[in-house]
Amino acid sequence: MEKPIFNFSKKYFSKILTLPDEKLVVARRKHFYVLLPSLIFVAFFAFILIYAFYALFSFLLVSQSLLITSIITAIIASLSISAKIVADWYFHFYVVTNKRIIEISHAPLFSHTMCDVLLSQVRCTEIDVKINGIIHQLLDIGDIIVTFDRPTHQEEFVFYNIKDPREIGTILGDEFATATNVVNQPAIWSDVKKEIEDNKNKNTSKFRFIEEIFPGR
Amino acid sequence: MNYLIPLLHILFLIIALVFLFFNVIYVKEVDKARDHLEVNLSKTAENLLRINAISSAVGVIIISFLFFLNI
């Protein structure tokens, strides 16, 4: 087992890791790069707003105090929105333990979402790592798509914009294989074949008709 | 035109007060979330949130001062 990957301190998550013998494997939040477009947009919007106020209160409705007031208000608003964007990013993270996967998205004052997948209740069929674009390649950012085969339907769990997706994908693959005992289980077709051969030898089949898919093998 | 400038002053003051109120509650909520999720904000991020709330308060004081100066 490789060394666990965190960008959190290991002493945290005692309130999240509640199952017996649950151990933390990976704890990650999205890369800081994902914040940049939103922050740049806010800064650009604030700049446009300040420029508009400057034009309005310098030429149309001349008032020095109103100009200062409006600029201060625009700065306060843009700083508050930026702080909210950063805090939302900070409280959105993925935690993988040897028992489950948890996605926590907490926007203080606004919303709280917690998505929990128990690894014992699902079968992981596929782990895809996707890195798109030059910037993502350079910064080593990508998505990890984990496909689960649930009793009723197939579902995907996506880790968006994670740093070191290849390394984490490998760790997740190992961990899920261990958690669901896939490594030790024989493939489903080998069970069927063995049963057919056993029934042939005993000549006491519990079924009336047995049709071999590949006769003679 | 005479009443427009004080009205705009009041409007900006209300907006700044709303953001100040939001920032103060937000810092408290972030503290609560940090305790609940046991995820510590870095000192820099925590200080930035507090500085943001304090700067909003300073901004509101300046705006109110300008408003009363203009009346």
B62 touches chain A (CB under 8 A): yes
Type of residue numbered B19: F
Block mean pLDDT (10 aa), chain A, length 217 = 55 71 84 91 96 92 90 94 90 87 88 86 83 90 86 77 88 79 54 64 56 63
Cα A167 from chain centroid?
Answer: 14
* Residue in chain B nearest A79 by alpha carbon: B52
Question: Pseudo-torsion of CA A10, A12, A14, A20, nearest 10°?
Answer: -20
Round to whole Å and give the CA distance between B23 and A138: 36
Q: Which of A132, A136, A135, A160 is nearest to A146 (CA)?
A: A160
Q: Which of A73, A88, A87, A94 is nearest to A7 (CA)?
A: A94
Tracing tokens 């408290």 back to the chain, one arrives at B28
pLDDT at B62 over 80: yes
Query: What pLDDT, on a 0 to 100 scale, did the predictor assign at position B67?
Result: 87
Residue A51: CB atoms within 10 A of its CB come to 11
The number of beta carbons lying within 10 Å of the beta carbon of residue A98 is: 17
Instruction: Using CA coordinates, name the residue in chain B closest to A83.
Output: B49
Dihedral of the alpha carbons of B60, B66, B68, B71, in degrees to the nearest 10:
-140
Residue B33 touches partner A, C-beta closer than 8 Å: yes
Contact A168, A159 (CB under 8 A): yes
- Residue type at position B33: A
Q: pLDDT at residue B21 above 60?
A: yes
Domain tally for chain B? 1
> Nearest CA to CA, how far is B36 from chain A (Å)?
8
Angstroms from A134 CA to nearest CA on chain B: 29
Q: How far apart are the two ends of chain A, measured CA to CA in Å?
A: 38
d(CA A40, CA A51): 16
Please tell me the pTM assigned to this model.
0.77
Q: Check A79 against B56: CB less than 8 A apart.
A: yes
> Strand A24-29 relative to strand A5-6: parallel, antiparallel, unpaired?
parallel
**Is the Cβ of B67 closer than 8 Å to some Cβ of chain A?**
yes
- What is the domain extent for residue B11? 4-70
CA distance B71 to chain A (A): 11
